Amino acid sequence: MNPPAGAPADAPAVGGGRIGLVVLDMAGTTVADGGLVEQAFAAAARELGVEPDSADHAAKLEYVRATMGESKISVFRHLFGEERLAQQANVAFEKAYGTLVDGGRIAPVPGAREAIEELADDGRTVVLTTGFARVTQDAILDALGWRDLVGLTLCPADAGGRGRPYPDMVLAALLRTGAADGVRDVAVAGDTAYDMLSGVRAGASVVAGVLTGAHGDAALREAGATHVLGSVAELPALLRGVG
């Protein structure tokens, strides 16, 4: 059987059943935030005494860019080492990001809401996930009017504390919704290599990268993407083709 449109030539076939659960990332995948992560990081770095325009700031910012999609507290633990400092940076980051969100600095990725509604109309359960803390995730949902768009949203704390690239949020979505018979009947979509690793490690049959966020085609495929799409708006058609 030929791979669906948008799949690499060696994309694996979907095994066994119908995709019943779709786990979608938020920032960069369904939500366009225009680089707010970097702006919020700058505020957090200032609070911890990192000099703007210094070599230290540049190195830390490069790490933030490279680890887009990872749980933010994990990123700050790496950058600042001491747990107290990591927690201080995380609080400052979440506060700054929330302020930017409240200021109207985010919007849906074009076609994202419609795609989520299409997936639901096709009988699939959609779960929205993030590497942000719950307070920030809720601020985004409120700003977009998405509180009632899906039945379940997850942040790392909701899945035991480990965010991406671990598979925990994907597996928690499966366990909490019961929407798929097994991991092979799950699709994951995101804009970062960490999203792809999370989906692969969870055993999802469809791990779709989208080109509306942090990482490009090569990075997504290297991390295990089975498909790379222009945006999440293409996902409903893809899933109709594979199950």
- As a whole number of angstroms, the distance between CA 152 and CA 116 comes to 13
Q: Is the pLDDT of residue 77 over 70?
A: yes
Match 């076609």 to its residue by tokens: 111
Place of tokens 């009947």: 185
Instruction: Name the one residue in this structure whose structure tokens are 């959609």.
Output: 126
Residue 191 to residue 8: CA distance in whole angstroms: 17
Pairing of strands 206-210, 31-32: unpaired
Collapsing DSSP to helix, strand or coil, 189 comes out as strand
pTM, 2 dp: 0.83
Q: What does the pLDDT average to over 99-111?
A: 89
Alpha-helix runs per DSSP H in the chain: 36-47, 55-66, 72-80, 83-102, 112-121, 134-144, 168-177, 193-202, 217-222, 235-242
- Whether 121 and 239 have beta carbons less than 8 Å apart is answered as no
pLDDT at residue 6 greater than cutoff 70:
no
Residue 175 has pLDDT above 80, yes or no: yes
pLDDT at 16 exceeding the cut of 80: no
Residue 243 binned pLDDT confidence (cut-offs 50, 70, 90) = low
Q: What secondary structure letter does DSSP report for 131?
A: S
